[in-house]
Amino acid sequence: MQAKETLFADLVQGRAQQFQVPLYQRTYSWTEKQLKQLWTDILEQAELLERGEKASTHFLGSVVLAPSPQNDATFPRWLVVDGQQRLTTLSLALAAIRDHVRATEPGQAERIDEQYLINKWQSGSDHFRLLPTQADRPHFAAHVRGTPTDQSTEGTVTTAYRFFQRKLVEAADATTPQDAFRIEQAITSRLTLVAVTAERGDNVHRIFQSLNNTGLKLSQADLLRNYLFMKLHTRGEQVYETYWLPLQDSLSNEELEQLMWLQLVLDGDDRVRRQDLYAVQQQRFENDGAGEAEIEAYIRELYRRATLFRRLLHPEEEPDASVRAHLRRLDAWQAQVTYPALMLLLDRRERRELDSADTARAMSYIESFLVRRMMCRVPTNNLNRIFQAMPGQLPLDVPVADGLHQLLSADNRFWPDDEELREKIQKAPFYQFGRWHQRKMVLQRLEESYEHPEPVDFASARLTIEHVMPQSAGDEWLRMLDEDAARAEDLHSRLQHTLGNLTLTAVNSELSNHPFERKQDLLRGSHLEMNRRIAATERWGAEEILARADELADRAIELWPAPLHGVGRAERSRDWALAHEVLAALPHGTWTSYGDLAAFLGSGAQAVGSHMAGTPGVVNAYRVLTSEGKVSDGFRWTSEEEGGDVRARLIADGVRFTVHGAADPAQRLSADDLALLVAEDDDRADGEDATQRTPDGGQGEETRATGSSVSSRRTTPPRRWKRSARSSPAGRDSAAGSGTGRVRSRRARS
């Protein structure tokens, strides 16, 4: 190899020659950010020329060239192994200068053309000094010929050309004139390049790899594409035109990379990571001694599966109505984690191993698996492993849909059965788990199950989740709850976020925290059947909420199939893992009660107490107290490493005590506060306290009453727990302003 410093003019002008961007290179991708930087450098050099200063030139970068297989003595052709972005950009800039001066200086325009852009006496593709990769070729050729068409008015090539057109007009402004020919001179003689030229027989692929060995410059899909077309010595053009170009047009680079990864997974590699895609696939080809036929077969298979993959990204392209409905719901759920299983099903259907009805049935198991786990608060951290392993684990001796049902029902899959689903619908705070769009989809599906003769158009309706019994319960609501139990506040805490108390509405700002009689009037006019049923109820207390939860549980069990019995059932102990997680996250100077922790878990206070008493090593177990802020009579240290006076430990942790010996109620964390502690991201545990997004990209709000005013809810849940004000017990409903280091009570939360 030879390396030397050169200028753009010295590299491209002179005798007829051509610089070819190989098929394996990515398309032109410079954006305005890179173009602006280059233009700044060009103007700086133009100003130096104008002042006659002989300052150093600007180093633009390297260009790596190799002799083309089509090379001949009379017309040298070079492969651009690296540097195509620079060469394409500079060529487009010169084309823009040529067109800028054509009307006033036609001779100079012709000179620029013949020196830098075209081979005057060559025809066809040989007419161009620079020949981009096929995807960019029509647009680039149109601008070099000076005859852009409607087809060449979009894309990155055109964007770059127009950028330079615009900048040349700005540079010609009378206030800050810049001569176009001086700008041309700056481009051709003041921007230096290092040209690295390989000899015939050098390993061009090895050169390319050494330039991109970190994978930072190019994506995994870029690197793999480059490798594939470097291997296609004789059939590259045909394979590119027939398969790769349509494939590249149908998917973005990131989507193409995901498809390449899915192809490895479908072939049984259940451990490959996307960031290792290139290395793993290259190694497979090398180990198998893959030649051009095998490489072409791989690209042809990618092309076939791309049509299937697009149906996951764009469910409207799926022809079967039932399968399309499942794909739409899974897309709305944002269930990209299930793509290996969904691609497997679509692939097997195309191979006629199952029909559309069985494909839809199998997808119903996947949907149920996700929905039931979310409703039963099963952590999602192992879903990637479950679905990535599925193609290699699917039983071979049963039909595909039945095999998938069996696989998802296995012991370590934790797919909740009907009994657990019903229990969680009745008791668990549905509003505080999963993501906002998932909770909304569950309610939407339940509404659709009523099969109303005039169903709501959910795609255009601006619906958000509403608490029928509000989160901030006024005196009238508490009096109603007092009819059901002696401790209305505890009952409110346990039931407010359960599914039986939630519905969908487009008028939650009007509903606000009004008494039930006012809400009835508004809900009667709703087009949703679930709201009409709520409005037909005489009162809305614990009995009615639990009755509705039981009705919704019946519908959920009907909508979302259960796992198979005998294969295994979910372990209920995972709820305690969630309890351990939230206790470990308790901030300094806070405590919680058995009732609060139970409400957060959707369990019972007695069960929480029994678990805490019988489970060694639970972090911060001693900071769970009775609702009065006292240490439970049944509390015992569970290991020898622990011990000592509980109150002393609490004081050391910043918990204050009143003169009556109870922990300061201002430092108590409610079930709502606990939910914020374990928020995984801005969607989990937002409880729709976060501003809810609507289908049109707008935002709907659930509101709260503070005194007589209505204020919007916080837009995003905090990443970490924040203390907020809590007024004295006599004035909690006033929700005093934040910043005093106190925790707002449940009643002050909307």
- Which residues have a Cβ under 8 Å from the Cβ of 185 and sit 6 or more positions away? 46, 49
**708 lies in a domain?**
no
Question: What is the C-alpha end-to-end distance of the chain, expressed in Å?
Answer: 72
Calculated CA dihedral for residues 91, 95, 100, 104, nearest 10 degrees? 120
Selection from 66-80, 110-124, 138-152 with the highest mean pLDDT: 110-124
User: How many separate domains does the chain show?
Assistant: 5
Instruction: Clarify whether residues 66 and 131 are in a common domain.
Output: yes
Work out whether the CA dihedral 645, 646, 650, 653 comes out positive or negative. Answer: positive
Percent of the chain with pLDDT over 90: 47
Instruction: Clarify whether residues 445 and 339 are in a common domain.
Output: no
Instruction: Clarify whether residues 374 and 232 are in a common domain.
Output: no
Instruction: Clarify whether residues 159 and 90 are in a common domain.
Output: yes
**58 lies in a domain?**
yes
Instruction: Clarify whether residues 327 and 309 are in a common domain.
Output: no
Residue 194 tokens, joined: 């290092």
Instruction: Clarify whether residues 521 and 584 are in a common domain.
Output: no
3-class secondary structure, 398: coil
Instruction: Clarify whether residues 15 and 163 are in a common domain.
Output: yes
Instruction: Clarify whether residues 508 and 441 are in a common domain.
Output: yes
pLDDT tens digits, one per residue of 575-596:
577 888 889 889 999 999 998 8
Domain closes at, from 313, 335, 359: 313
Instruction: Clarify whether residues 450 and 545 are in a common domain.
Output: yes
Instruction: Clarify whether residues 727 and 581 are in a common domain.
Output: yes
Indicate the residue type of 534. I
The single residue listed with the structure tokens 């503070």 is 706
Instruction: Write the DSSP assignment of 218-239 as a string of letters.
Output: S-HHHHHHHHHHHH-TTTHHHH
**706 lies in a domain?**
no
Q: What was the pLDDT predicted at 149? A: 65
- The answer to which of 9-13, 51-55, 156-160 has the lowest mean pLDDT is 51-55
pLDDT tens digits, one per residue of 439-490:
999 999 999 999 877 777 887 778 889 999 988 888 888 888 877 665 788 8
How many secondary structure helices (H) and strands (E) does the chain include?
A: 32, 14
d(C-alpha 247, C-alpha 515), whole Å = 58
Please name every residue paired with 79 in a beta bridge, in sequence order, or none if there are none.
20, 66
d(C-alpha 450, C-alpha 235), whole Å = 58
**700 lies in a domain?**
no
Residue 306 tokens, joined: 């791309």
Q: What was the pLDDT predicted at 575? A: 57
226 or 184, greater pLDDT: 184
User: Residue 66 — pLDDT band, cuts 50, 70, 90?
Assistant: confident
Other Cβ atoms less than 10 A from the Cβ of 214: the count is 7
Q: Is the pLDDT of residue 653 over 70?
A: yes
Closest listed residue to residue 409, CA positions, set 255, 285, 543, 563: 563
Closest listed residue to residue 220, CA positions, set 257, 266, 248, 249: 257
Domain that holds residue 428: 421-559
Instruction: Clarify whether residues 58 and 184 are in a common domain.
Output: yes
**195 lies in a domain?**
yes
Percent of the chain with pLDDT over 70: 83
Q: Is the pLDDT of residue 29 over 50?
A: yes
Domain closes at, from 277, 298, 313: 313
The single residue listed with the structure tokens 């192992």 is 382
Q: What was the pLDDT predicted at 573? A: 43
- Which residues have a Cβ under 8 Å from the Cβ of 324 and sit 6 or more positions away? 315, 316, 318
Q: What was the pLDDT predicted at 739? A: 33
d(C-alpha 750, C-alpha 743), whole Å = 14
Residue 467 tokens, joined: 């608490």
The dihedral region occupied by 687, where left means phi > 0, alpha psi between -120 and 50, and beta the remainder, is left
**701 lies in a domain?**
no
**662 lies in a domain?**
yes
Please name every residue paired with 65 in a beta bridge, in sequence order, or none if there are none.
80, 197
- Burial of 515 (C-beta count, 10 Å sphere; 0-12/13-18/19+): middle
- Asked if residues 309 and 250 have their Cβ atoms less than 8 Å apart, the reply is no
Cα 730 to chain centroid, rounded? 46
- Continuous H helices in 314-355: 321-332, 339-350
d(C-alpha 732, C-alpha 725), whole Å = 10
As a whole number, the mean pLDDT across the chain is 82
Can you state the angle between helices 253-266 and 339-350, rounded to 10 degrees? 70
Instruction: Clarify whether residues 92 and 18 are in a common domain.
Output: yes
Domain closes at, from 173, 189, 211: 211
**440 lies in a domain?**
yes
